């Protein structure tokens, strides 16, 4: 039995719609946040305790909460960056949840759809920064040490042609100066912005709304970028070699959002791939959460040669292949948020629209 297996270890029903879940680094605790029916936000901290979940702390906020990250926090401080439905970005100290936020700014007009953070626990990989993407079409980079104004504000010039930004992610932060941010939009636009030079490095369109983007590692030279979309699209780009005309090489998987039948046959309507998350202990393994309640684990295989040089003499990337290691259906509703434990390989938590969080255990990941 050397195949990967994912088991639902604990299921916890909630009295609110969960929008994001994150493990607290160096602990057996995770944060769950979302929206109560009356429109207020809620943050809960759960702890694993001998096969059960204990609610350690709960606090309510004025507005519904959409997304969060520990990426800009030092390992021992537990500072959680949170984006809400009113466009406010706040950084809370989880030890003192009742106190005012450590950092607070009116970041966007309308809901903050997505955020990502980096630089908190890495060494010599740049400043701690938070990137937010909103319904107003703007992508903004914030430094928690600098009040009021963003470090970078990336948005189209006119207000008429702004598209809803659904996904953002940091990458290429391998030294003190290099850093890029990738953003995905509701019309399928994918943009790569170089934060060092503040210019657009590359853009493409994947023909469907982009729900999630993630680099396999934020603190190394750009290696791979996973992008998931509406209607079951999954793209993995090889980010090491950029061609002036063809851009980055990619591999595409088409049936990712479809449900898995009892006999193991993939079928049904094309459903959204809500989230993609790379395993912290192995950057070539990642998970996707589908609109039919399914979760799939993928392994990326590199090609024999990652670079080819055609007749014109310009280097061009070569995409690898994807292998599905495991597929399981956890819920009748979409699994839209997922987080691997940074400390324990195979331990994960996910949230779905049936108002449930699930603690998952995945076996045999060390064999790949």
Q: Kindly report, residue by residue over 281-323, the tens digit of the pLDDT.
A: 999 999 999 888 899 999 999 999 999 988 778 899 999 999 9
Give the model confidence (pLDDT) of 324-334 as tens digits.
999 999 999 99
Nearest residue to 61 (alpha-carbon basis) of 29, 89, 95: 89
Angle at 212 between CA 242 and CA 300, to 5 degrees: 60
Looking at every residue in the chain, the average pLDDT score rounds to: 91
Q: Once rounded to an integer, what is the mean pLDDT over residues 49-73?
A: 93
CB distance 277 to 346 below 8 Å: no
324 CA to centre of own chain: 20
In angstroms, rounded to a whole number, what is the distance separating the alpha carbons of residues 297 and 118?
Answer: 24
What pLDDT was estimated at residue 242? 92
Q: Residue 211: beta bridge partners?
A: none
Domain ranges within the chain, ordered by starting residue: 5-363
pLDDT in tens, 117-128: 998 776 667 889
Give the pLDDT confidence score for residue 123 in this predicted structure.
66
Out of 101-105, 130-134, 161-165, which region has the weakest mean confidence (pLDDT)?
161-165
Distances (CA, A) of 248 to 62, 201, 235, 286: 43, 11, 11, 20
Beta partners for residue 101, in sequence order? none
Give which of 83, 61, 60, 62 is closest to 71, Cα–Cα: 83
Q: Furthest-apart CA pair in the chain: how many Å?
A: 64
pLDDT attached to residue 319: 94
How do residues 44-57 score in pLDDT, each as one tens digit?
999 999 889 999 99
pLDDT of 1 higher than 50:
no
Tell me how far the alpha carbon of residue 306 is from its chain's centroid.
26
Q: What angle do CA 326, 329, 333 make, to 5 degrees?
A: 140
Is pLDDT at 262 greater than 80 in this prediction?
A: no
The pLDDT of residue 298: 94
Model confidence over 211-261: pLDDT tens digits? Answer: 999 999 998 999 999 999 998 889 999 999 999 889 999 999 877 766 665
pLDDT of residue 263: 55
Residue 330, helix vs strand vs coil: coil
Q: What fold characterizes domain 5-363?
A: Methylamine Dehydrogenase; Chain H (2.130.10)
Do residues 267 and 258 make contact, with C-beta atoms less than 8 angstroms apart? yes
- Which whole number is the average pLDDT over 141-165? 86
Cα–Cα distance for residue pair 252/242, rounded to 1 Å: 18
- Cα(290)–Cα(338) distance, integer angstroms: 11
Least confident of 94-98, 259-263, 278-282: 259-263
Measuring CA to CA, how many Å separate 10 from each of 50, 312, 350?
11, 56, 11
pTM here is 0.93
Tell me the per-residue pLDDT of 8-48, one tens digit each, with 9 for 90 and over: 999 999 999 999 999 999 999 999 999 999 999 999 999 99
pLDDT digits (tens, 9 = 90+) for 190-204: 999 999 999 999 999
Q: Span 151-156, mean pLDDT?
A: 88
pLDDT at 73: 86
Using alpha carbons, select from 77, 45, 28 the residue that is nearest to residue 342. 28
User: What beta strand segments (E) does 172-272 contain?
Assistant: 180-185, 189-194, 199-205, 210-215, 224-229, 234-243, 247-253, 259-260, 266-267
Specify the long-range contacts of residues 204-208, CB closer than 8 Å, at least 24 apart: 204/247, 206/233, 206/235, 208/233
Q: What is the pLDDT of residue 78?
A: 86
């Amino acid at each position: 039995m050397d195949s990967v297996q994912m088991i639902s270890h604990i299921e916890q029903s909630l009295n609110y719609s969960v929008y994001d879940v994150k493990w607290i680094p160096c602990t057996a605790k995770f944060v769950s946040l979302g929206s109560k029916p009356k429109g207020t936000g809620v943050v809960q901290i759960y702890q694993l305790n001998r096969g059960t979940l204990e609610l350690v702390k709960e606090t309510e906020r004025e507005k519904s909460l959409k997304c969060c990250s520990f990426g800009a926090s030092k390992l021992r401080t537990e500072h959680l960056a949170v984006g809400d439905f009113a466009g406010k970005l706040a950084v809370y100290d989880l030890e003192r949840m009742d106190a005012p936020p450590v950092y607070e700014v009116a970041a966007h007009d309308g809901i903050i759809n997505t955020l990502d953070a980096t630089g908190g626990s890495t060494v010599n990989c740049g400043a701690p920064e938070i990137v937010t993407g909103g319904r107003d079409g703007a992508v903004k980079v914030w430094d928690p040490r600098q009040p009021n104004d963003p470090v970078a504000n990336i948005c189209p010039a006119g207000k008429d042609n702004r598209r809803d930004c659904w996904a953002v992610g940091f990458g290429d932060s391998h030294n003190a100066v290099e850093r890029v941010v990738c953003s995905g939009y509701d019309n399928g636009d994918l943009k790569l912005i170089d934060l060092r030079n503040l210019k657009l490095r590359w853009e493409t369109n994947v023909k469907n709304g982009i729900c999630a983007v993630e680099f396999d590692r934020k603190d190394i030279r750009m290696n791979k970028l996973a992008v998931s979309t509406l209607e079951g699209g999954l793209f993995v780009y090889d980010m090491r070699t950029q061609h002036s005309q063809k851009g980055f090489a990619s591999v595409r998987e088409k049936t990712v959002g479809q449900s898995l039948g009892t006999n193991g046959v993939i079928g049904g309507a094309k459903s959204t791939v809500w989230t993609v998350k790379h395993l912290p202990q192995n950057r070539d393994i990642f998970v996707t959460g589908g609109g039919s309640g399914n979760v799939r684990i993928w392994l990326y295989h590199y090609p024999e040669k990652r670079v080819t040089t055609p007749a014109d003499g310009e280097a061009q990337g070569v995409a690898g292949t994807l292998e599905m290691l495991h597929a399981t259906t956890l819920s009748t509703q979409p699994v839209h948020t997922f987080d691997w434990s940074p400390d324990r390989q195979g331990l994960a938590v996910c949230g779905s629209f049936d108002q449930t969080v699930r603690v998952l255990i995945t076996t045999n990941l060390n064999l790949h």
